[in-house]
Each structure stands twice: as structure tokens, then as C-alpha cells.
Structure 1
Amino acid sequence: MQIITNAITADNAAYFAAVTNAERRALQSYFDQHVIEDPELGYLTIDEGDYGALNPPMIDRIVYTAPGGILDEF
């Protein structure tokens, strides 16, 4: 088990965990996966399809986007 000893390392670990989650989810989704920075919760991965049109405050907090990997055009 790895112990994270400082806030910067913990913040980086949380960010990269959210990016990894977004990349994995994007492979099996029609929608983009966004990593959102939240001051209380850290980094969250959301599916654009769950929220419809994102509101401007949420758009301003996007720090990474993984494009959806499934195309619906044949």
C-alpha cells in the first residue's frame, strides 16, 4: 500500500485517477467524458449524456475531456 504524504501528490493522484476513469468510460460511450474539478470533492468524472447541456459554471470547471469512442454514424 502506498501512503501519500503531501497535498500536491494527493491532488495529482486524484486527477490522474479521474482521467483514467474518463478514458476507460469514453471507450464505451457515445458521449464525451469530462473531468470536473470540485473544491470540496476533488476531481469527478461525468458523462455528458447524463447532464444534457452543461451549464456555464460546470463548463468552467472542466479540466480534461475524453471524446466518446462509439460513433453512431455508419
Structure 2
Amino acid sequence: MTQVIDTVFDAQSYFAAVETAERRALHSFFDQHVVEDDDQGYVALDEGDYNALPTWAMNRVVHTVHGALLDEF
């Protein structure tokens, strides 16, 4: 799916949220999601903060970075 970013603010908040999600994922068991927010543009959410992502958040996920820690050892 292709999405056109209308403003510079949206692009800046998107890339800032992706960077935050990537940084958090390195030190987390949980996936990090970039979610579109009406007020802030884009924000990063840690899946570990929720038992399951609420429907409102699931429907607004635009990018996911998988958690990098493994607990199999």
C-alpha cells in the first residue's frame, strides 16, 4: 500500500517514530509499532505496554519493527 505524505511535519514525525521504534526494538522482546495519530502525526508504541493492541491502535499501524531479544536460552 502506498501512502502520500502531505506535509513536512508528517514526514518528520514518521521518521522520528520509526527511529524510536528501531531503537526500542533492539532492547525489547516485544514488537514496536509506528501508529498514525491525529494530533501528533506518528508515534511509536511498544506492544509490551498492552496485553493485545487495542483495535484503535491496530487499525492505525503503518510500520512494525520486531523485537530483537530472544528468551529461548
TM-score range, shorter chain: 0.7 to 0.9
Aligned AA (2:65): A
Q: TM-score, normalising length from structure 1? A: 0.84
Alignment RMSD (CA, Å)? 1.1
Question: Is residue 54 of structure 1 aligned with residue 53 of structure 2?
Answer: yes
CA-to-partner distance for each residue in 1:15-74, whole Å, 9 max, x for gaps? 001000100000000000011111112111111001111122210000111000001112
Q: TM-score, normalising length from structure 2? A: 0.85
Higher Cα radius of gyration: 1
Q: Which runs of 4+ in 1 moved over 2 A?
A: none
Instruction: Say how many residue pairs are matched.
Output: 68
Aligned AA (2:17): A
Query: Identity, % of aligned pairs?
Result: 54
Aligned AA (1:71): L
Q: Which residue of structure 1 lines up, in the alignment, with residue 3 of structure 2?
A: none
Q: Which runs of 5+ in 2 are unaligned?
A: 1-5
Q: Which runs of 5+ in 1 are unaligned?
A: 1-6
Structure showing the higher helix proportion among its residues: 1
Cα contact 2:33–2:63 (8 A) shared by 1: yes
Question: Is residue 19 of structure 1 aligned with residue 18 of structure 2?
Answer: yes
